[in-house]
Amino acid sequence: MSLLTSVTNYTLIGPYENQVSIYHANGLVWATIEQWCSALKAPYFLPDMLRNSVEAQAALLKGGPYTAMMGTSKVYRWPPIAAALDLWHRNWMVRVSKGEHTTMPTSLRNESEQFARNVSKLKAWGYELQERELQAAINSKGSVQTSSSVPMDVAHAMQAIRTLAQATQAVLEKHESEILEHGEQLDQIKREMPAFRSPDEFVTIKQRCIERALAFGKIVQGRMNLTQACGQYLQKSGAEKGPLQAERLDGSAIITEVATWQRKDIDAAIKHYMPELAAPN
């Protein structure tokens, strides 16, 4: 792995008009994982994802090097970071298409949805940043065609970035359109899915378990199943009761009246017995 020399540490404006501290060497922009994440205002889970992915992505790319050492710190150029973001976004959309995102902890799901909407904007910023810095480095030394003082690695890197930018421009535009469409689809899914219905509406515990795809017959405490345990919890907590609802007992022709509770109170009871399941919001 190469060691960077003649490095300048400077501050620029990030994609959210935030100040970003990065490194500049030979007309190329470098930064640590932490610095790139700070620039992107990345959610809490992204640094670990990048550390696990960016080395492999860098090895697959042509036109490197994309990783280097600066003292004891490892720094990266933008292309492998963008490739790792692509990989995360593809995996995220697969989870959404299968409905698996609804079982994620609330904070993780919310931050993932927001970050997914911004991926296209962030990638475009990174590529524009790299090309802008290369252009500035070349302009400061004169034209590549007329000046022999411009380092060849800068000229080659500039050409590589230009070629990459041209090749990916159409893809980025299409990707941005898809991100917007996916955002609209996610909003539509949240409006239509039973799990996201009004938290104040009164329903039976069994109905709420069905809406959230939970096994209401699962034993959660002693000999009580989930519906029985939640009913006891709601009674003891003094939660507001709704109108009784006629319901046929499982495996029986007998119809009985069952208490109803607000969805938000039932969700709290479910979380009490199954804390690993966050209530949808």
Same domain, residue pair 206 and 67: no
Q: Which domain holds residue 103?
A: 8-192
Q: Is residue 3 part of a domain?
A: no
pLDDT tens per residue, range 225-252 = 999 999 999 999 999 999 998 887 766 7
Instruction: Examine the pLDDT at 164 and tell me if it is beyond 70.
Output: no
Residue 65, preceding peptide bond in cis (omega within 30° of 0)? yes
**pLDDT confidence of residue 260:** 95
**pLDDT confidence of residue 265:** 94
Q: Which residue has the higher pLDDT, 196 or 104?
A: 104
Give the residue from 170, 176, 171, 165 showing the smallest Cα distance to 133. Answer: 165
pTM reported for the whole predicted model: 0.52
Q: Could you identify the residue written with the tokens 């698996």?
A: 100
Q: Which residue has the higher pLDDT, 81 or 24?
A: 81
Choose one of 143, 172, 192: the last residue of a domain.
Answer: 192
**For the chain, what is the domain count?**
2
Q: Which two tokens stand for residue 194?
A: 């039973």
Same domain, residue pair 112 and 206: no
pLDDT band of residue 204 (cuts 50, 70, 90) is: very high
Choose one of 167, 192, 217: the last residue of a domain.
Answer: 192
